[in-house]
Structure 1
Amino acid sequence: MVEIIGNRDEAEAIDAVLANWAAALGNKDAAGVVGHFSDDIVSFTLAAPLAHKGKGEKGLESWFSTWDGPIGGDAVDVRLVVGGDIAFWTGLVHMTGRKTDSVEVDLWFRQTLGLRKEAGVWKIVHEHTSVPFAMDGSGRAELGLKP
């Protein structure tokens, strides 16, 4: 269930865009993924470096090539706030699948998406994904957390 704050009609349009974007991610369709990005997107993803600027289709293709089969996903605790031509989506995302080295992925992470309506179309202008890290001084990522 999605908590919606703001314009419900725009929220439905955004939901459709994000469903298409998620399907492209799951199907490892790099062109489909970046087609939902604005030209000036800034992404803070799980992968280095600290910031990615621009669409980065080649980087996605390289990452997709490390997966054997589709990438599974689902989101919980989803909240969508819409105001005018700007929207923010937040949620906890569950990513699953098998890597080409046979490692099974079962990871929960936090995600925030910023969207802007450009020429009547909602585009993702900011993406932030992260996992918490241990505050015990080890700096280790907390990869086993679940909601």
Structure 2
Amino acid sequence: MNDADTTDEIRIRALVERWARAVHEGDMEGVLADHAEDIVMFDVPPPSDGVRGIDAYRAVWPPFFGWQRQGARFEIVSLEVTAGAEVAFAHALLRCGTPEELRAEPGNRLRLTLGLRKEQGRWMVAHEHHSFSATD
């Protein structure tokens, strides 16, 4: 690993941590920051074919923020980053749920995968995927 790779991984890690903090705080501008105009996101709730574009991405967050105001948590537990010169990916596990949900299933984690690309020297999230594992 060279210094550029390390620097990019540090920058991407900081980007993901800022985004997660913005999600937890219900900060729409912070959630949208560092996301590409043509973002594609596959999320837990519908639509199952995903949302495409920054406007559609923006539209999915208000209901989630409302749910979080009921006391839900959104915290990174683990985060791994792999960065190339122009593209990168990150995957993370998060605690995501209300206190009751987290007590009932303390080990359940939201899985997050991000695909990033460098645009004019700046890392941007181009793909975002959230999922929970299937339960029996």
Q: TM exceeds 0.5?
A: yes
- Offset at 1:90? 1.2
Q: Supply the distance in 1 between the matched residues of 2:64 and 2:53 (Cα, whole angstroms).
A: 16
Q: Supply the distance in 2 between the matched residues of 1:127 and 1:67 (Cα, whole angstroms).
A: 20
Contact 1:27–1:71 (Cα < 8 Å) also in 2:
no
The two structures have a TM-score, normalised by structure 1, of 0.74
Matched with 2:51 is 52
Percent identical residues? 28
Question: Runs of 4+ in structure 1 displaced over 4 angstroms?
Answer: none
Gaps of 5+ in 2: 103-107
Contact 2:72–2:96 (Cα < 8 Å) also in 1:
no
Matched with 2:126 is 125
- Between 20-29 and 52-61, report the one with greater CA deviation: 52-61
**Structure 2 residue identity aligned to 1:11:** E
Question: Cα RMSD (Å) of the superposition?
Answer: 2.0
Q: Which structure 2 residues correspond to residues 75-90 of structure 1 after superposition, within 5 A?
A: 75-76=77-78, 78-90=79-91
Gaps of 5+ in 1: 1-5, 99-103, 134-141
Higher strand share: 1
**Which one of 32, 35, 39 corresponds to residue 33 of structure 2?**
35
Q: Indicate the SS of the match to 1:16.
A: helix
Q: Which structure 2 residues correspond to residues 1-147 of structure 1 after superposition, within 5 A?
A: 7-50=5-48, 51-55=50-54, 56-68=57-69, 69=71, 71-76=73-78, 78-97=79-98, 104-106=100-102, 107-133=108-134, 142=135
**Structure 2 residue identity aligned to 1:74:** I
- Offset at 1:57? 1.4
The two structures have a TM-score, normalised by structure 2, of 0.80
- Offset at 1:121? 1.5
Matched with 1:137 is none
Q: Supply the distance in 2 between the matched residues of 1:109 and 1:70 (Cα, whole angstroms).
A: 13
Aligned length: 124
Higher helix share: 2
**Structure 2 residue identity aligned to 1:12:** I
Q: Supply the distance in 1 between the matched residues of 2:129 and 2:60 (Cα, whole angstroms).
A: 16
Q: Indicate the SS of the match to 1:46.
A: coil
**Structure 2 residue identity aligned to 1:34:** L
